[in-house]
Amino acid sequence: MTSHYEERMDADLEQIRAKVRKASDLVERQVHNAVQSLLTIDRDLAGQVVLGDRQVNRRIREIDHLVHAFIVRHAPSARPLRYASAVLRLDVALERVGDYAGSMGREVARLSAPAPGAVGRDIELVAQQARLMLSHALEAFHDGEAESAKGVYGLTAQVDLMLERALTDVQRAAEKGKGTLRDVFGLLRILYLLKRVAEQAENVSELTVFAITGEEKPAKVFRVLFVDESNDRASQIAEAYARKAYPESGRYSSAGRTPAETLSHDLIQFMDGRGVDVRTARPTALTPTGETPEHYHIIVVLSPEARDRLGEVPYRSTVVEWKIESDPQDLDALYKEVAIHVQDLMTTLAGPDAR
C-alpha cells in the first residue's frame, strides 16, 4: 500500500515533470522560430524570439524553485535525488539554449539580406541536425530512456563536419562580395550558436543517463599530434612521454616537416633510462592536417618552421605552440621541459586526475 508520503512525493515529481516538459517545448520552439526567421528574413518572428527568451527564463526560475522545495520537503535519495539534480542541470542547459535562440533572433534582425544560396542551405542543414539532437535528447529525458539518450553521444562530430563546409561557404561568399561585413559576422555567429545548441543537446543526453542509471559518460579521449622540424627530438619525446604518463586520456602521434631517417642511438638510450621505449619509433613526415582521415583535437607545434606545413587546420582542431628553450643535444633538460608542457596540456584537457 502506497503511503501518504509517497503519494505526495510522486505528485510533486509529476508537477516538476510537467513544468520541465513545457519549458523544453518552449525552448525547442524558440530555436525553430529563430532558424525560420533567418531562412525567411522574418524580422517580426525574430523579434518574437528575442522577447520569448524572457518567458523561458521565467519558466526556468519556476522549475528551480519547485526542485529546491522538493529537496527540502522530501530529502530524497537514490533515483529521486538524481532526477532532482538532473533537472537543475537541465535548467541550465535549457536557459542557455534559450539564450542562443534569442541571440540568433537579434542577429537576424540586423541582417540586410537573406543568406546567400549555399550558405542558407548550410545553415539549414546545421540547424536541422542541432534541432534533431536537442529534440531526441529532451524526449529521452522526459521518457526516462537511457539507451535512447546515449544515441546522441558523439553526434556533435556530424555538426562539426557540416560547420566546416558552412564556414568555407561563408568565406567564399564574403570574397565574392555577397553581403555586408556585418552580415558575414552575423551569419558566422549564428552558425556558432547552432553548434552550441548541439553541444547542449549532448549535455542533456549525459545528464539523462546519469539521472536514470547513475552512470557518468566515459571520459573523453583526446587525439594529440606533436609536430616539429625533423621528428627526432622534442616531438618524439613528447609523444613517448604522453603515451607512458597519460595512456587513458589520449591517443598520441608525432611528425616532422622534414623527418630524419632514424632516431639517434643517444635518444634511444636516454629514453630507455627513463623507462620509455622508443626503439620501434620512426620519424614520420607531416601530412597536412586537412588531409588526415581523422581530425586531431590538439596539434602541438614545437618548432616555428613546422607551423607552415600544417596546411589549412580543420575547424575542430586547436593548434598550440610550445616555445622550447632547451638545447636539442641536452636530452635531460629537453626531456624535463617537454614533460612539464605535456603535464600542463593533459591536466588542462582531462583534469587533475588525467591518466
Residue 172 sits at the vertex; the CA angle it makes with 170 and 178, to the nearest 5 degrees, is: 75
> Residue 306: which CATH number?
3.40.50.2300
Domain of residue 155 covers: 4-213
The C-alpha atoms of residue 9 and residue 69 are separated, in whole angstroms, by 11
Lowest mean pLDDT among 90-104, 152-166, 228-242: 152-166
User: How far, in Å, are 90, 104, 190, 195, 263 from residue 127 at the CA level?
Assistant: 21, 12, 10, 8, 49
Residues 256-269 have pLDDT tens digits of 988 998 998 999 99
Query: What integer is the mean pLDDT of 319-345?
Result: 93
Residue burial 122-142, b: 16+ Cβ < 10 Å; e: rest = bbebbbebbbebbbbbbbbbe
Residues 46-91 have pLDDT tens digits of 999 999 999 999 999 999 999 999 888 887 777 888 889 999 999 9
The C-alpha cell 588542462 sits at: 348
Q: How confident is the model at residue 2 (pLDDT cuts 50, 70, 90)?
A: low
pTM over 0.85: no
CA-nearest of 232, 276, 252 to 354 is 252
Examine the domain organization and report whether 272 and 304 are in the same domain: yes
Q: How confident is the model at residue 293 (pLDDT cuts 50, 70, 90)?
A: low
Q: What was the pLDDT predicted at 178? A: 82
By the 8 A CB rule, do 263 and 282 touch?
yes
Q: What was the pLDDT predicted at 1? A: 44
Has residue 162 got a pLDDT over 80? yes
Examine the domain organization and report whether 294 and 173 are in the same domain: no
Examine the domain organization and report whether 182 and 237 are in the same domain: no
Beta bridge partners of 320: 300
Examine the domain organization and report whether 146 and 72 are in the same domain: yes
